[in-house]
Structure 1
């Protein structure tokens, strides 16, 4: 696709970033209660209108993309009037990997409200977790927030140690015994729970033992997912891998340091590195992804 103009989309639930002709524009995030592809088509039309561009291909990394929604041909039909002639769609774990590590072999763990780990080996790909807040997402912002709320209520009952986490929870729900009722009734309860991850990070840095314990356990979960993903793609005992940790959860110094220590404690084969770029860079890279690359099979393509 070299030489073609690319309109790349990094589509998340909190916002959608579009890059075209070197410029970035931002749109509201995916509404998970509405069909996905018409929303992407609206973003393509909006980005073209705002930038005056004439893209040849649309590429997108999409949070939570399923095979059911990954109909690149349908997206093309929805943007036929723009002159776009090709489309490539992928789960955002794929574009997060390409943005962070490029063509390197290794693993990227992306931990925000949820978490997913993707490993790429010589000839195999392994996705670990990313199974949502009910069935998985171990070590994610939601997981951390849920552990914080559990710790606060244990302290309230006398089943656990006192913790400074009680204060920010009381700030939202002054009457703690009724907090669970308000939370269960809230439409944005996942976001509310995950928001306490920032308080855990802050109070862990200030020395609260409970917040530190939660951070350390989250780090172990995240490191375990990385190790599992790399084991799934390993072909030789002497293989070495590059690992990149991205997402808001890793802004916690306590958690990041504990993750690095846990990951490398018993492993000689990993090197933890900073990301080369972001998810939008990975979405852009879809346009030139080689058919021989292990991740190519995870990309849904269509040509008009």
Structure 2
């Protein structure tokens, strides 16, 4: 790690910081408030807690928009004479660098949401990551939404019996009122995503509906990977590494379905274990070569 680098891996559930030989965790990003002041506050907090000055601040941020990807504005917000450089990127970039370093291939990061990033010889492609309303196929939210759909189909007589119904009744004893309770809940997205865990458990236990949802989720995630790789492939014989990270891959059946789809691909691909995590990718931003395909997706400002 380059000395003096303060690296930030910022997500909605938590913000990880590596600085001065320490790993620190801060509360997650608040999406209802401006982003850059939050990142500046985290940088100041990390310097205060470690007692080590920072020469550079690097950050990979979940859901970073084009408008927010302004390293110069963040440098001004930090307003620290010791900080001479700020590097800002979407967390799909830092997830890739953490998992595959300088390799070529695709990383699919699937938790409550999902985003896939592929890097070829000279091209980059991002697939999905469009949020729970417009995308995130195969994510924890997607799985939870499919689970609740299956529960209500059984309730109506439109679908087969499933052990997921008993799980739903633990939260909503009267299923006829469940949709009202859910639609009025401020945390309805996380409530829906929370059903991904019982889907994984019940799929292992043999519930056919949960198994079907799990297999389809693995297929969706593999489809995103293949779509991204086709967009960056330079020639038919190009070899790619594929790495899967995130909570949904804790499901053995989902991993198996995902791996099966990848193995059947006409692309030359190999599943590999991640080299590191998002925070490692945030550290790597400090040394990202200007000619790297991902360099165009990174905002850099220097004092």
TM interval, short-chain normalised: over 0.9
Deviation at 1:193, TM superposition (A): 0.4
User: Which whole-Å CA distance do the structure 2 matches of 1:112 and 1:53 have between them?
Assistant: 33
User: Which whole-Å CA distance do the structure 2 matches of 1:217 and 1:22 have between them?
Assistant: 42
Q: Is the 8 A contact 1:106 1:241 kept in 2?
A: yes
Residues 48-127 of structure 1 mapped to structure 2, 5 A cutoff: 48-81=47-80, 83-127=82-126
Deviation at 1:82, TM superposition (A): 5.6
Provide the residue aligned with 2:185 in structure 1: 186
User: Which whole-Å CA distance do the structure 2 matches of 1:232 and 1:22 have between them?
Assistant: 39
Deviation at 1:168, TM superposition (A): 1.3
Deviation at 1:4, TM superposition (A): 4.2
Provide the residue aligned with 2:263 in structure 1: 264
Residues 1-304 of structure 1 mapped to structure 2, 5 A cutoff: 3-81=2-80, 83-267=82-266, 269-304=268-303
Deviations along 1:259-292, one digit per CA (max 9) or x if unpaired, are 0001111335000011000000000000000000
The TM-score normalised by the length of structure 1 is: 0.98
Structure 1 unaligned residues grouped into runs of 5+: none
User: Which whole-Å CA distance do the structure 1 matches of 2:252 and 2:225 have between them?
Assistant: 19
User: Which whole-Å CA distance do the structure 1 matches of 2:77 and 2:299 have between them?
Assistant: 16
The TM-score normalised by the length of structure 2 is: 0.98
Q: Is the 8 A contact 2:123 2:293 kept in 1?
A: yes
Deviations along 1:110-163, one digit per CA (max 9) or x if unpaired, are 000110000000000000000110000000000000000000000011100000
Deviations along 1:239-274, one digit per CA (max 9) or x if unpaired, are 110000000000000000110001111335000011
Q: Is the 8 A contact 2:9 2:279 kept in 1?
A: yes
Q: Is the 8 A contact 2:60 2:91 kept in 1?
A: yes
Deviations along 1:32-55, one digit per CA (max 9) or x if unpaired, are 000000000110111111111101
Q: Say how many residue pairs are matched.
A: 303
Q: Is the 8 A contact 2:113 2:139 kept in 1?
A: yes
Deviation at 1:76, TM superposition (A): 1.0
User: Which whole-Å CA distance do the structure 2 matches of 1:63 and 1:232 have between them?
Assistant: 23
Q: Is the 8 A contact 2:2 2:286 kept in 1?
A: no
User: Which whole-Å CA distance do the structure 2 matches of 1:267 and 1:173 have between them?
Assistant: 45
Distance 1:78 1:260, change over 3 A: same
User: Which whole-Å CA distance do the structure 1 matches of 2:89 and 2:20 have between them?
Assistant: 21
User: Which whole-Å CA distance do the structure 1 matches of 2:125 and 2:263 have between them?
Assistant: 20
User: Which whole-Å CA distance do the structure 2 matches of 1:53 and 1:22 have between them?
Assistant: 9
User: Which whole-Å CA distance do the structure 2 matches of 1:131 and 1:298 have between them?
Assistant: 17
Q: Which runs of 4+ in 1 moved over 3 A?
A: none
Deviations along 1:187-206, one digit per CA (max 9) or x if unpaired, are 11110000000010000011
What is the SS of the residue equivalent to 2:210? Answer: helix
Deviation at 1:232, TM superposition (A): 0.2
User: Which whole-Å CA distance do the structure 2 matches of 1:119 and 1:74 have between them?
Assistant: 28
What is the SS of the residue equivalent to 2:195? Answer: helix
Deviations along 1:6-45, one digit per CA (max 9) or x if unpaired, are 0000000000000012210000000000000000011011
User: Which whole-Å CA distance do the structure 2 matches of 1:124 and 1:254 have between them?
Assistant: 32
